[in-house]
Structure formats: C-alpha cells, structure tokens
Amino acid sequence: RASYYAVYNVKGVETHNLAQRGGIVHNNMPICYIPHTTFISTADDEMVIALESHQAERGIYHAAKDGGTLVYYNTVWQPLSVRLNQAAEVTPGQIKRACDARHINLFEVIDAVLPDSRMQNIAVLAVVNARHLIPDVAEYHYCSAMTDLMAGELLETNLHLFYRISSQCLQ
C-alpha cells in the first residue's frame, strides 16, 4: 500500500493454505517500476519480509536470492509440524547461519514492549523504512498509507511504534 504514493507498481496475491488450521499464509508481492511484472516463483526475490521465524526460514530457502535481504520479526507462532513434534522450532542462530551461507543481508526485528502482537508488521515496516530497503519509498509514504488504513487511537498507536522503532534503527 505504501507504494501507491511512490513510484512503484505493486500487485499481490495471498495463498492461505489452511491458515485457519495452523497452516501458512504466503503473499508474494512484486514491487517494481514495470506495471505488468509477473510473480516470482523461484529464489529470485531481492527482499523477503517475514513476521515469524519459520516464515523467515522458508523465505531464505524458497524465495530469497543469494545476496538478497531478509527482514523478519523474531517470534515463533509454532506451525502445526512443531506442535506435533514433527519439527523443531527455528532459532535466530539457524536463520543467521542460513543467511550468512548465502550472503543474505539480515535484519532481525524484535520489540520488547510491543503493545499488541498484531503490530509486528508495523515494527518490521519501520525497519524497512529506517534502513531504506525499498528505494524511493520514504517515511511519509508509509505514514500516508497507514493514515488511509487506520484512524483514531489505532492509527496513533501504530504511528508511535513506527516512529519509535525507526528512530532506534538510526541510533
């Protein structure tokens, strides 16, 4: 949504894969200057953004290109395979080693005072903003998009978090 105000064309399609039963939700969103780009299905993505450690690991192996960027929120939502003891939880160390092996730039996001777990996306967005990971998309683009999507106390709380984390990245 932030790119609506910038110079990029964005299109996205979510695949829910039984998300309501513990499965994953995946959204591939090409962000580019070309209006009719196709979806990327191989490990060619410049940047992967994940809101959970297992998503981050999948992104490293199935989406990110060598030398790309991973931004992820360091939390575990325990996918079904972990709950059934069929797989172990992914650790930050595993993610770091996998990124190092493929020269992927890693930005781990965690906020000890996150007001609501549903705000992890804003925390990640703040890091993307502060590190200028999407060229030509500036802070005011993100804030304008948030203003279009939220109002009142919800908007104020999210903007406060966005500015706080953005400024922490600059220190």
- Specify the pLDDT at position 112: 86
The closest alpha carbon to 29, from 3, 68, 62, belongs to: 3
Q: Please state, in angstroms and rounded to a whole number, the distance separating the CA atoms of residues 60 and 126.
A: 21
Tokens 């196709």 belong to residue: 38
pLDDT tens figures, 107-119: 999 998 898 988 9
pLDDT tens figures, 31-63: 655 555 555 556 688 899 999 999 999 999 988
| pTM for this model (two decimals) | 0.82
In degrees, rounded to 5, the angle at the alpha carbon of residue 49 between the alpha carbons of residues 82 and 69 is 115
Segment 108-137 mean pLDDT: 92
96-122 burial, b at 16+ Cβ within 10 Å, e below that, comes to eebbeeeebebbbbebeebeeeebbeb
Sign for the CA dihedral angle at 48, 52, 56, 62 comes to negative
